[in-house]
Every structure is written in C-alpha cells, then in structure tokens.
Structure 1
Amino acid sequence: MKRSIFFALIILILSCSGNDDSDNGGQNNLKPSDLTVVSTVVGTDSNNPNGDGSGKVDFTISATNATYYKVLINNETLEFTQNTFSYTFTNGGTNTYSIIIAAYNGVGSVSITHTVKVYVYKELLLVWQDEFNQEGAPNTSNWGYNTGTGDNGWGNNESQYYTNRLDNAKVENGVLKITAQKEAYQGSQYTSARLLTAGKFDFTYGRIDVRAKLPAGGGVWPAIWMLGSNISSVGWPACGEIDIMEYVGNNSGKISSAIHTTSSSGATVNYKAVSIANETTEFHIYSMVWTAESLTFMLDDVAFYTYNPTTKNDQTWPFYNKQFIILNIAMGGNLGGTIDPNFTSATMEIDYVRVYQ
C-alpha cells in the first residue's frame, strides 16, 4: 500500500507541468535541464558522518531554465520557487532516504532521484543504573568481582592482586570507591578491585554514562570498559572489548578510548586519546553511544572518537552481541608503566553508572 502511494505521488509531481513532452511551438530546447542537487547534513564531521542527530539537511538545487521546483521527500510534497530549502527528518536512528526533485518551467520539466543518509538522535530511556546510595559493599545484584592476579587470565603484566574486600571496594557517601593500595597480599605487593556486571546485567546497543573522578599516582591504570558476554565461548579478542575510558597516571592530562577485536588488538588497536583537565580532582562524565553501525565515545557529552569500520564482520565488528561492564584500577603493567616507589594508595570514585536504550 505504501509503495502504491509513493509511486502515485511521483506521477502526480511529474504530471503537474502539463506539457512535459509537447511541442510547444518548437521550444522544447527551453525545457529545464542539467538538474543537480547537493545535500548537506547539518553537523557532519569525522566523528558524526551522518550528522549531529538533529536530522536537519540543507539542499541546494541547480537547473538551467527552471522557474520552480517540486520535491517528494519522506512522503511529503514540497513546492517552491527558490533553489534552496531545508528539511528536518524525525525518524530515529540512521536512515537512507530517496528524494525525487523536479524542475519546471512553462515548457516542461526534468526530474532526478537523490539519496541522503541521516542520523536522528532519538530519546533514550534509562534501563539500568547504580547510583551507589547503599553504604558498604557494592550491590551484589549489580556487581560481582574478579579476584586474584593476572595468572587468572587477564595478564598485561600487572602488579596488583584483585580482592573483594571493603578495603578495595566500598560505597561511601553516595559514591563507589575503588582503591588500589600498596600492601603485601597473597604474594603481590599491591591490592585493588575489579568489579563487573557479568551474569547480572549485559546489553546490546544504547548509551552508557559513568560519572567518575580518577585516581592519581605513577603506575595507576584505571579503566571503565566492557567485554562481550560470550567471552567464555569465543575467547578474547573475538568477543570484542570496548574501552570507554582508560587513564595512565604516568601520563596525566589525557584519557583514551579503544576498540579490541580480532582485527584490532595489541599493537594495532584502534584508539584515540583526548586531553582532559582536573581529572583527579573533579568528576567528569565518560560516555559511549553504541548503535548497529558505530561506537562513539564522549567526554563530558562531547564526542571525540567514533569507530565505524567500512567492512563489518566478526573480525572487525563483534559488537552485535551483548556486553557487560567492568570498573577497575590496575597497577603497572603494559600500559600503567613504572609504579612510583612512593605510591601508597589511590582511589577512583564513581558517582553513577547509567545505561540508556
């Protein structure tokens, strides 16, 4: 039914000129010609290839001998004499639209079909959250722990022993405090905590916001990140890893976001770093927007990196499967680097974790 209406509108547009193919006194050469259209999606840049989410597109039409124009766009018919116009699309998500543009004068008409791809931000609903309002141990309905050393499978030559003690992870005054500290414990010289939602909450697509204050000190390596829930069956990096925020105390003033897949891991990982100020003394919001097409990373609601591989397959894009959330502080290791010999303790404070879909 929709297709029938669509083609009926096309016929209506082209028939309104009345004399498209008539002789008109031998003046057929005066019919409109050389019709072209240029569309500019508002807010397009390297991080937002299909626009800023407003859905607004600016069009410029060029045609020889045209006196007015008709446009069939998103099942709407528009008519005007000027050669520029703007249109705002409202369908949420990223969509490709076919637009028919016709140029007219008193002799006849010419038409073309133009396509445009537009992203429209759609309001998301809060589907999961932890506001850390319950004092003491983190909510066991939301969080579990990885415990032990890198020998348990996460490697990276890190120096800490992850525990489930209140000394290393507790909720206090409305924030979750993950503390890394120097102490001899189970054969390690440092302790910390690694909390995760595996087996309790995972999701596919949406937006995650984490408001946090980062720890300071040479050798600290805090992270807010995600792993594919199928890691036990397919392994890493085939499960996909999304590093929403990583910070290195030995390189203050910068955070980074990274993607690990079968085609992008180790030395060839896709990542981008961005400057940050007061990261250890003030709270900032670290965010990631995940769609079927791309992963966009934001600092304080400003996008700075988008991962959108041209070819999507299991090697480049395992991100059609659910992922769970991880919060931790590592010490030293491949990225954390040398630990300050005067280090005693450092804490990452998390005000909230919120997931929208």
Structure 2
Amino acid sequence: MKNSNKLIAHILISLMTVWSISCSSGDDPSDNSNNGNPTEEPIFPSGLTLQISKVGSDSENPNGDGSGTIQCVASADDAVKYGFRFGNGTEMESLDGTMEFTYTSPGTNQYTVYVYAYSATDHSVNTSQTITLYVDDTYELVWSDEFDVDGAPDSSKWGYNIGTGQNGWGNNESQYYTNRPENAIVENGMLKITAKRENYLGSEFTSARMLTKDKYEFTYGKLEIRAKLPSGGGTWPALWLLGANIDEVSWPACGETDIMEHVGNNEGFVQSAIHTPSSFGNTTNLGGQTIGDVTSQFHVYELEWTPEKMVFSVDGNVHYTYQPANKNDQTWPFDLDQFIIMNVAIGGNLGGTIDPEFMEGTMEVDYVRVYQ
C-alpha cells in the first residue's frame, strides 16, 4: 500500500511539472506572440494641435482679407502624416502638417476644419477647429479674349484640333476640323466659327474646334461667353471645358464640363452637362432651359465653378447645379486645371440627322471672360 501511494505521488508530481513547462513555453493567455513572432503594437499619435491663420486677418479684418484663404499647421507626437478635411467631402494629405485652403462661398460663414494625425501603424487621432471667415464675392477679370482685332484668332490664346473624329476625340461627327479662315476668323469684333458643306479631305463638311490647351488653363472661377448660335438641322455648337491632365489620365477621368450645347434639331433648348468616371457619355448629370432666340440673338452662357459645386446659367438664369453628395475622384475630378473649347460639330451622337438643305452655319462669339 505504501508503495502504491508513492507511485501515485510521483505521477502527480510529473504531471504538474509537464503542465508548468507547457504553460511557460507559450500557452499563457496573456502572451501576445503569434507562432513565436511578436505582433506589432498599435501606435497612436498624441498631443495633436491645430493652428489656423486667416490670410490678411488683423484688428480691422478679424475674419480675413476676403480672399477666403486659410493656412493650417498641425503637429503631433509619433505622427508620420496628416489629413485635412475642409467640408468638401475629400481629405487632403500633408506629410509635414501644413496645408493651405481657399473657401469660395461669398459672405461671412463659419467653417469647421478637421485634421487627422496618422502613425506608422496607420492608427489616427483627430481634432477640429471652427472658424469664422469672410469671402469677398467680387470677382476680378483674370483672362479674356474680346476678339477686337480682325484676322486670325490670337495664336497666343487659341490652338486647334485638326482632323476628324478618327483622331480619338470625335462623336461620330461628319465634319473635318481645320484652322482655315473659312472656318475660324475674327471680323468686326466677333469670332466666327463656321461649319460648311464642302468636300474636304474625304469629309462632306468642315468646321473649327478652338481650344486654350497649353495656353490658358485655370481652376475655379466664373466663365462667361457671349455668343449667338448657328441654326440648321445637324448643327451642334458647344462651349465647354476639359481637364488639362487628359493626356495623362484620359477621358472621362480628366472630367468634362459642358457649359452650353445646342442641337439644331431641337432649336431653342440649351443644356449643360457634367462627365465624370461615375457618369459619362449618356450622362445623367445635366440640365437645361428653352430660349427661343438663341440663333438670332446673343446670350451670355455662364459657369460658376467652386470647390463645392458648378452652377450653369444663361443671362443669369440658373438651369443646372452640379454638387455631388459624395465627392471623390469618381464624381468630382474638378480640383485641377481645365482648358476652354469652342466648336461647331455637324451630326454625330447628339447633333443627329443633318438637314439635306443645310449649307452653312456660324457661331458668333463676342467675348470669353474668366473671373476669379
């Protein structure tokens, strides 16, 4: 009996020893290792601060000088980058914690600026600050063409697309775009873009497509174009913008802004449209209005472009506002430069059936003005 008790005690001691060794070798629930490899501990930035300066702010102008520009400086321990949000639906990255931003909504308004500090493990902390800022709604003319010198359009301001839609920028249109005076000329203070029925290099029609690409490009502002439109079934005049980065990112990633399009087969109705990666071609982002005398009288076609929205109007009467609720590179590729295009197409996807009696139609442009 004594020997049996000794044997049992020995077995119990051996089992306890094995259990102790097993626990010490990694079965401790508090052990953070993973198959012998320690997991990365999260790092959270600390001590985040945000300083905001309003440009031109002084004792007489506590809400800034009217430019709407603010300068932000953020700082935090263990931060490797920062993200700023200004209420426009996007986050702007900064590696050093500095950022400049310009608000454009006119008047005195309150804005809440958020900043996020990110660590090397991509963990973040954030803080915010609410400011009162004054934005002067007075625009200044920054670029224009008044077309007051007869002859060829000013080559320092305008270039041309040459050729047919086979060049990659057509919409099944029937014209051949040229830079000839027969299709684009300044006369008596007016630019005249004329579409003609004539056989030219294999095409039955000619016209002109003028653009400011690589000559003048801008971001935000107000664009006014005073024009009288051509008539005739199949005519398709357009005043519009394209993203200056089109050669790098292609269309529609560059963004397209159609200020005015008119179709001779639906005379009197003018429309504006937005083309983005989220809606392009037969886009759903469009609106327009009917104006009975667009082919006999001049009207001012206007775009007001801010970081928040695009507003389209004719003679001050708004017919469409584009302001996506969720702004990202799919819905809003409009925080970069765009250039101006003016053309008269014939036929094509929107122009439609060409009147067999059509011989010639001219879009006359009194001026193009950009304000900021």
**Are 1:168 and 2:183 an aligned pair?**
yes
> Could you give the per-residue CA deviations for residues 193-239 of structure 1, whole angstroms, max 9, x where no partner exists?
00000010000000000000000000000000000000000000000
The Cα shift of 1:118 comes to 11
Matching residue of 2:306: 291
- The answer for the alignment partner of 1:311 in structure 2 is 326
**Inter-partner Cα distance in structure 1 for 2:109 and 2:232:** 46
**Aligned counterparts of 2:305 and 2:353: Cα–Cα separation in 1:** 34
1:330 Cα deviation after fit: 0.3
What amino acid sits opposite 1:192 in the alignment? S
Q: Which amino acid letter does the alignment assign opposite residue 284 of structure 1?
A: H
TM-score by length of 1: 0.68
Q: Which runs of 5+ in 2 are unaligned?
A: 1-50, 52-103, 113-129
Q: Distance in 1 between matches of 2:191 and 2:353?
A: 26
Matches for 1:1-357 after TM superposition, within 5 Å: 92=106, 95-96=109-110, 122-357=137-372
Q: If you compute each CA radius of gyration, which structure gives the higher value, 1 or 2?
A: 2
Contact 2:162–2:176, Cα closer than 8 Å, also in 1: yes
Evaluate the alpha carbon distance shift between residue 268 and residue 154 of structure 1 in structure 2; reply closer, same or farther with a 3 A threshold.
Answer: same
Q: Which amino acid aligns with 1:350?
A: V
What amino acid does structure 2 have at the position aligned with 1:264?
Answer: S
Deviation at 1:149, TM superposition (A): 0.1
The Cα offsets for residues 161-195 of structure 1, whole Å up to 9 and x where unpaired, read as 00000000000000000000000000000000000
Per-residue CA distance 1:115-135 (angstroms, 9 max, x = gap)? 9x9996610100000000111
Distance 1:349 1:284 in 2: 11
C-alpha distance in 2 between matches for 1:146 and 1:286: 23
TM-aligned CA distance change 1:334 to 1:92, over 3 Å: same
Residue type matched to 2:106 in 1?
G
Q: Deviations over 1:46-97 (max 9, x none)?
A: xxxxxxxxxxxxxxxxxxxxxxxxxxxxxxxxxxxxxxxxxxxx98368436
Tell me the amino acid that sits aligned with residue 218 of structure 1. Answer: G
**Residues 140 and 342 (structure 1), Cα distance of their counterparts in 2 relative to 1, 3 Å cut:** same
- Root mean square deviation, CA, Å: 2.3
CA apart distance, 1:257: 0.0
Which consecutive unaligned segments of at least 5 residues does structure 1 have?
A: 4-89, 99-114
- Equivalents in 2 of 1:336, 1:131: separation in Å? 28
Alpha-carbon distance in 1 for matches of 2:183, 2:250: 28
**Distance (whole Å) between structure 1 residues aligned to residue 225 and residue 294 of structure 2:** 13
Q: CA deviation at 1:303?
A: 1.5
Tell me the secondary structure at the aligned position of residue 157 of structure 2: coil
Answer yes or no: is the 8 Å Cα contact 2:273–2:283 preserved in 1. Answer: no
2:137 is paired with a residue whose SS is coil
What one-letter code is carried by the residue in structure 2 that aligns with 1:290?
Answer: W
What letter corresponds to residue 282 of structure 2 in structure 1? A
Q: Secondary structure at the match of 1:328?
A: strand
Q: C-alpha separation between the residues in 1 aligned to 2:155 and 2:252?
A: 27
Structure 1 outlier segments of 4+, above 6 Å: 117-121
Q: Classify 1:149/1:247 alpha carbon distance in 2 versus 1 (closer, same or farther; 3 Å).
A: same
- Aligned length in residues: 254
Q: How far 1:264 sits from its partner (Å)?
A: 1.1
Aligned-residue offset at 1:147: 0.5
Equivalent residue letter for 1:296: V
- Deviation string, structure 1 residues 237-265 (Cα, Å, up to 9, x no partner): 00000000000000011000000000010
Describe the shift of the 1:322–1:94 C-alpha distance in structure 2 as closer, same or farther (beyond 3 A). Answer: farther
**Residue 146 of structure 1: how far off its partner (Å):** 0.2
Q: Identity, % of aligned pairs? A: 62
Q: Output the CA distance in 1 between the equivalents of 2:345 and 2:134.
A: 37
